[in-house]
Structure 1
Amino acid sequence: MNGEKLRDFKEKHSWKFWMNDREAILGIVVLLLIIGTINVFSSSFVLSETYYDTPYFFLSRHGINVFVGCVCFFVGALVDYHRWRSWIVGIFAIVVIMLIAVLVVGVEVNGAKRWLQLGITVQPAEFAKMLAIFIEAAYISSRVSIGGKCQMLHAQLGVLLLLFILIEREPDGATAALVLGVPMCMLLMSNMARQMKLTLIGMIVLAGGVICILQPYRLNRVLTMLNPWQDATDSGYQIVQSLQAIGSGGFWGMGLGQGISKYHYLPEAHTDFAFAILCQENGFLGAFAVILLFGAFTYYGARIAATAKDAYGQILAAGIVCLIVGQAVANMLMVGGWFPVVGVPLPFISYGGSSLAVSLGAVGILFNIGHKSAPPKTLVTSAPPKNVDVFGRPRLKRIK
């Protein structure tokens, strides 16, 4: 048996946990959604019972959010990812109008205007994240297609700065940083000259320092992160409570629903600090499982990006992976006291409608990129062969 036949034999008879990268991404996200739904209920039923006289208030809303998110996933999975490039101008106009409307007639919570009441509560800044990825992917792919080098300063940067300023005015510094930061990461992964990449990194660090100086409350958050116990009853309260929740979980955890920090000790226990409750109730094992799932998402997402059939698909997929995994890393570092307290949710785990819709829609687009680049033996078509399912696996014959 020669080498080629041996490889074919091994591939045919070897067992695979995932048949292809798209199936892996879908399975990982479904597992995260299940974990997130359980955690949303466990972390919110006390607050829900206190203010809404039912333990299921946030769970029922989360169910609606999951349904809307699944619709967004299917839209992203079924629409050819190249079409989003042709719709950028229209999407940009809608998002900018919504961001301006937020500043004028937005719903104000804790001194910030971030939401629009349109029958349902919508957070337009979340949609700006995906728009920023579309814009940067279009620029980078256009430069690559003509054999040119990407530049640090380009016309699209002005558009991204406009989005950044509008979101920062709400204020929502964390989302504004993502809208500008994820495209910069995409630029660092492009064919831009090495010296220019180093300059860009230096400018990002410098900009962060300037913002902290101009806005002292951001500098205070950094200082609080370094020593939260110095003011454990005020500025460091949330971090201290988060660390206590994580530490009290130990290796095995207190058990589902048994955590005590959600009893009005830890603010935002079902949103930004949902991971702390997950650690308290499921311990190190639960936390490690979530980290492992995001690690697997990174791996399979990177594989889809690497095998995309064109530069636009490659950089768009890379941007989506950076957005979702970047938020996950930032949230877990924040909850663990290694990052300043910012309003970054943990994708698929934290409660939040707009965030979940955008995340699942982005995964749908990633799925579509993988679908377009799939090899013939696993290619998903609108009319799959009768002997295989939608993932390219052989169908079992029915016994008559």
Structure 2
Amino acid sequence: MRIRKKIWNNDAEPIIAIMVVLMVLGTINVFSSSFVLGTTDYENPYHFLRRHVLVMLAGLVLFFAFRKINYRRWRPLQGPLMLAVIGATFLSLVGVLVIGTEVNGAKRWLFGAQPAELAKLVSLMLAASTLSARIKRGKANSLFNVCNMKYGLIVVMAVLIELEPDMGTAAIVLGVPVIMAVVAGMSFKYVLGLGGFLALLILILVNVQPYRMARLKVWFDPWADAQGMGYQTVQSLSTIGSGGFWGMGLGEGVSKYEYLPEAHTDFAFAIFSQEHGYMGAFLVFLLLALLVLFCVRIANRAPDEFGQMLATGIMVLIAGQAIANIMMVGGLLPVVGVPLPFISYGGSSLMVSMVAMGMLLNICDHGRNAGGEFPKGEAKVTKSKDNKVHLKLVK
């Protein structure tokens, strides 16, 4: 009998490989896109690279630490660890409004970190706890998925972040749990109603801040105000287009010479596309798509409902930020402060992404391996003829 060789021993290995490749590409791109700014503003071309590498090393420590923590410990309101994390998140979100550092008219930093990034993780853990319980009781199609105390805490976090103001991150903190509720099986009529309410809420928030309405108007025709509100979008599109098929070459991109603002953070993908061309951009697309597919695979193989929803939330968080950033850089969305996971420079964002990956791999370690078996002593999810979910312990 012919034995079929496997590329991976389990689902964790390809995720680690993809994450490492993305981080290597991101680190190279951070240096290439920031050495000009580092030289002019800090008299050190390695200023941003050094900080990025230090954050990445700290993120790796957190990645391995969170991979060892049983994901069931993160079930909200069931342990002191999660209660402490929730409390610290709310205190930091309030603290950033009171004593936070103001940059470009917004208070988003507290002692060099962005508490809003931690709120992303806390929100999806709260949502996973709520939805998993409702799935287990067979009530996942109800509107009450998002009408409870835990989703109320998510709304409060989103409001605090919006007050910074940071509408992009607030939309992620609130949007990811809503998408999780839809994935969990919310009834279509409730989805339509909730979608209409959120659209109305966005319209109100856009009108509250005049610059948001101006940014929305210029989104339809950035060249109408190419030297004003549309400057970043015009420069981003020009940067991507100038790279052509193969790109200008590593380090040869010209837009980082103070033509494109935030070239190493929110618009890092534009510089990457300019230097590596459409083929380089396609490679990033492919890696991110594979990462999402393996996230879905882990979610499907999770041993319980909480693991399934937590893995789904992590997948939506990573994929949502990637899609939003790439669409923004490509002019398909208005300019919002959403980084590209593992590619953009940003300490808090990178560390949260790596923590999320560590949690995801812990779910993977407790689920089925690549051969379709469960580890000894783990719970197996089965469905009976009446469509009810049952958990069976595999000895």
Q: TM-score, normalised by structure 1?
A: 0.89
Question: Would the aligned equivalents of 1:76 and 1:365 in 2 still touch at CA under 8 Å?
Answer: yes
The residue number in structure 2 matching 1:359 is: 353
Q: Deviations along 1:303-329, whole A, 9 cap, x unmatched? A: 000110100000100000000110000
CA distance in 1, matches of 2:178, 2:7: 35
The residue number in structure 2 matching 1:218 is: 212
Identify the match of residue 156 of structure 2 among 162, 165, 173: 162
The residue number in structure 2 matching 1:80 is: 70
Return the offset for 1:377.
Answer: 5.8
1:1-400 mapped onto 2 (5 Å cutoff): 9=1, 12-13=3-4, 15-85=5-75, 86=79, 87-117=81-111, 121-149=112-140, 150=142, 151=144, 152-375=146-369
Return the offset for 1:24.
Answer: 1.1
Distance 1:304 1:381, change over 3 A: closer
Question: Would the aligned equivalents of 2:52 and 2:347 in 1 still touch at CA under 8 Å?
Answer: yes
Between stretches 222-231 and 373-382, larger displacement belongs to: 373-382
Question: Would the aligned equivalents of 1:167 and 1:176 in 2 still touch at CA under 8 Å?
Answer: yes
Q: Deviations along 1:253-290, whole A, 9 cap, x unmatched? A: 00000000000100000000000000000000000000
Question: Would the aligned equivalents of 2:131 and 2:309 in 1 still touch at CA under 8 Å?
Answer: yes
Q: Deviations along 1:355-380, whole A, 9 cap, x unmatched? A: 00000000011111111002396989
The residue number in structure 1 matching 2:384 is: none
Letter of the 1:328 counterpart? A
Among all aligned residue pairs of Structure 1 and Structure 2, give the percentage whose two residues are the same amino acid.
49
CA distance in 1, matches of 2:6, 2:221: 47
Letter of the 1:130 counterpart? L
Distance 1:107 1:379, change over 3 A: farther
Between stretches 329-338 and 139-148, larger displacement belongs to: 139-148
CA distance in 2, matches of 1:36, 1:48: 17
Q: Helix, strand or coil: the match of 2:294?
A: helix
Residues paired across the two proteins, number = 369
Distance 1:376 1:346, change over 3 A: closer
Q: Helix, strand or coil: the match of 2:110?
A: strand
Letter of the 2:68 counterpart? L
Between stretches 212-221 and 315-324, larger displacement belongs to: 212-221
Structure 1: segments with no counterpart, 5+ residues: 1-8, 383-400
Letter of the 1:127 counterpart? L
CA distance in 2, matches of 1:174, 1:167: 9
The residue number in structure 1 matching 2:389 is: none
Question: Would the aligned equivalents of 1:301 and 1:321 in 2 still touch at CA under 8 Å?
Answer: yes
Between stretches 22-31 and 265-274, larger displacement belongs to: 22-31
Q: Deviations along 1:210-269, whole A, 9 cap, x unmatched? A: 222333322222211110000000100011110110000000000000000000100000
Question: Would the aligned equivalents of 2:322 and 2:340 in 1 still touch at CA under 8 Å?
Answer: yes
Letter of the 1:176 counterpart? A
CA distance in 1, matches of 2:227, 2:340: 25
Q: Helix, strand or coil: the match of 1:108?
A: strand
Q: Which runs of 4+ in 1 moved over 4 A?
A: 376-382
Q: Helix, strand or coil: the match of 1:122?
A: coil
Q: TM-score, normalised by structure 2?
A: 0.90
Structure 2: segments with no counterpart, 5+ residues: 377-395
> RMSD between aligned alpha carbons?
1.7
Question: Would the aligned equivalents of 1:88 and 1:135 in 2 still touch at CA under 8 Å?
Answer: no
